[in-house]
C-alpha cells in the first residue's frame, strides 16, 4: 500500500493536539507494574509500542509474550520478567529477532537472572525464568542503547541490595536516562547520578496519578512543516517548557532554520520566520530521534550540514543512516555517511522527484513521518507503507488532512 500526499495550496494555520509521549508512557507502565498498588496513568500513548507493552503486562500469565516490533517493550520486559515469578518466552517480529540484546542479558545474568537464548545467541526470542536478583557493582559501556540502562534502573529498587552502576566512555541518549531517573524519583525512589556513576537504593515505588506529556518527537514534524511553509503558524497543545523529554531541544534546533517558538498556557505556538542558518552542525547523541526530521528539513531548504552522534541509528527499526542515504540518493541528493556515525551534505544539489518515485519507509515510522512534509517543496510525494506511523503517531495522516494536506 502507498499514499500520495499533496501540499496545501494555501498557508497553514492550525491547532493540533499531539500524541502522548511513548517514552514516558512505557516507563510509567513498568513502574506501575512494579508498584504494590495500581495507580492511574492518564493520556497514555496509543502507539504500537505502548499497546504492546500494556498488553504484555496485562497478560503475564501467558507462556509466550510476543511484542511484535516494539523495541522498547523488548528491552524493558527482559529486565522486568527476569525478577518476577514464572517462566515465559519473550519474542517479537523477524526484525526484532535481528536486534541484539546480549549486553542487557549479560548484565542481568550477572545479577542472578535466568535467561536463555532460544534461537540465535545474543538475540530474541528469550526464555526467562523469574528469580531473585542481587545488586552488585556493575560497569556498562555508555555506547549501548540507553533503553538497556533504563531497563536496569527501573527494576533496581526491587533488587536485593543497592545498585551501583558505572557508565564507561561516551554516553548515548543521555536525556532518556535522565528521563528514567526523574520519573523514578517522582515515584519515591532514591536514585542519583553523579559523574559517571548512578546509585539506586532498595525501595518501592509509591503510587500516584500521572498525566503523560505530549510527545516532543511527534512535534518535530510540525516544526518541519512550519519551517518549509511560508506564513504558517501552528499551535501544539500539551507540550511543556520544563519537559522530561530531551527532544524538547527542538525549539533551539529550529530557531535558525525558520521556526519561532512561544510557550502558551496550553502548549506552544510555532510560526515561520526567515532562515538565518548557512551551515547546520549538531551532535544528536542525546536526541537521536530528531535526526531524520532535521536531515529532511535541511535538504529541503538547501542548507549544508553535518549531523553527528548518530551511533545508535543503525540498530533501530531499520538502519536509519543507510535508509536516509538510499532515499536521498534516489532523489538526486548525495549524503555522505562516515565511519564516525555522522552524515553530511554540501547543499549543492537540487531535489529531483521522478514521476513514479515512491519513498520507501523500511518498516520505520520515522522515515514516513519525516519525509511526508517534503511534499511542501516537491508539491506531491508518494510514500510506501504509510501504516508504519501507528508505532508512535497513529493519527498523523488524519492530522495532516485537517491541516490542509490532500492524501489519497
Give the three cell numbers for residue 217. 518527537
Q: How many CA atoms lie within 13 Å of 311's alpha carbon, on the beta-carbon side?
A: 14
- Rounded to whole angstroms, how far apart are CA atoms 45 and 222? 18
Whole-angstrom CA distances from 57 to 53, 60, 242 are: 6, 6, 30
- Rounded to whole angstroms, how far apart are CA atoms 247 and 230? 24
Paired sense of beta strands 336-337 and 343-345, if any: antiparallel
Q: Please, which residues have CB within 8 angstroms of residue 356's CB and are 6 or more apart in sequence? A: none
Catalytic residue among 289, 311, 319, 398: 289
Element (H or E) spanning 84, and its range?
A: none
Give the three cell numbers for residue 382. 508518494
Q: In DSSP terms, which residues pair with 263 in a beta bridge?
A: 268
- Rounded to whole angstroms, how far apart are CA atoms 95 and 228? 33
N residues, the chain: 408
Nearest 5°: CA angle at 105, between 99 and 110?
A: 160
Element (H or E) spanning 74, and its range?
A: helix 71-81
> 139 near 110, Cβ under 8 Å?
no
What is the DSSP code (8-state) at residue 162?
-
Residue 364 among the catalytic residues: no
- DSSP result, 216-282: HHHHHHHHHHHHHSTT-EEEEES--TT-S-GGGGHHHHTTTTTEEEEE-SSEEEEEE-----SSEEE
Q: Which are the catalytic amino acids? A: 289
Amino acid at each position: 500500500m502507498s499514499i500520495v500526499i499533496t501540499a496545501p495550496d494555501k498557508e497553514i494555520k492550525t491547532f493540533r493536539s499531539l500524541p502522548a509521549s511513548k517514552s514516558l508512557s512505557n516507563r510509567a507502565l513498568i513502574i506501575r507494574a512494579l508498584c504494590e498498588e495500581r495507580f492511574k496513568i492518564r493520556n497514555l500513548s496509543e502507539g504500537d509500542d505502548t499497546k504492546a507493552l500494556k498488553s504484555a503486562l496485562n497478560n503475564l500469565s501467558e507462556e509466550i509474550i510476543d511484542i511484535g516490533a516494539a523495541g522498547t517493550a523488548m528491552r524493558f520486559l527482559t529486565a522486568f520478567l527476569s525478577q518476577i515469578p514464572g517462566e515465559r518466552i519473550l519474542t517479537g517480529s523477524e526484525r526484532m529477532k535481528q536486534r541484539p540484546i546480549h549486553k542487557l542479558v549479560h548484565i542481568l545474568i550477572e545479577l542472578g537472572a535466568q535467561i536463555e537464548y532460544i534461537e540465535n545467541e545474543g538475540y530474541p526470542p528469550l526464555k526467562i525464568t523469574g528469580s531473585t536478583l542481587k545488586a552488585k557493582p556493575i560497569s556498562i559501556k555508555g555506547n549501548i542503547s540507553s533503553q538497556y540502562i533504563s531497563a536496569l534502573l527501573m527494576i533496581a529498587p526491587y533488587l536485593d541490595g543497592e545498585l551501583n552502576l558505572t557508565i564507561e566512555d561516551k554516553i548515548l541518549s543521555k536525556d532518556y536516562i535522565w528521563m528514567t531517573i526523574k520519573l523514578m524519583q517522582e515515584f519515591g525512589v532514591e536514585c542519583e547520578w553523579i559523574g559517571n556513576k548512578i546509585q539506586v537504593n532498595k525501595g518501592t515505588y509509591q503510587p500516584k496519578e500521572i498525566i503523560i506529556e505530549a510527545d516532543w518527537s511527534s512535534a518535530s514534524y510540525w516544526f518541519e512543516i512550519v519551517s518549509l511553509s511560508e506564513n504558517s503558524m501552528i499551535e501544539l497543545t500539551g507540550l511543556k517548557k520544563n519537559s522530561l523529554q530531551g527532544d524538547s531541544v527542538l525549539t533551539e534546533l529550529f530557531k535558525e532554520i525558520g521556526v519561532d517558538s512561544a510557550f502558551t498556557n496550553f502548549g506552544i505556538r510555532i510560526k515561520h520566520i526567515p532562515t538565518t542558518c548557512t551551515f547546520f552542525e549538531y551532535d544528536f547523541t542525546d536526541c537521536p530521534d530528531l535526526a531524520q526530521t532535521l536531515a529532511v528539513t535541511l535538504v529541503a531548504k538547501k542548507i549544508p550540514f553535518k549531523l553527528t552522534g548518530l551511533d545508535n541509528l543503525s540498530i533501530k527499526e531499520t538502519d536509519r543512516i543507510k535508509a536516509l542515504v538510499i532515499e536521498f540518493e534516489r532523489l538526486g541528493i548525495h549524503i555522505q555517511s562516515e565511519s564516525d556515525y555522522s552524515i553530511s551534505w554540501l547543499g549543492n544539489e537540487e531535489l529531483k522527484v521522478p514521476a513514479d518515485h515512491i519513498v520507501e519507509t523500511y518498516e520505520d515510522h520515522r522515515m514516513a513521518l519525516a519525509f511526508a512534509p517534503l511534499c511542501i517543496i516537491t508539491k506531491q510525494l508518494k510514500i510506501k507503507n504509510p501504516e508504519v506511523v501507528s508505532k508512535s503517531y497513529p493519527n498523523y495522516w488524519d492530522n495532516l488532512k485537517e491541516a490542509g494536506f490532500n492524501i489519497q
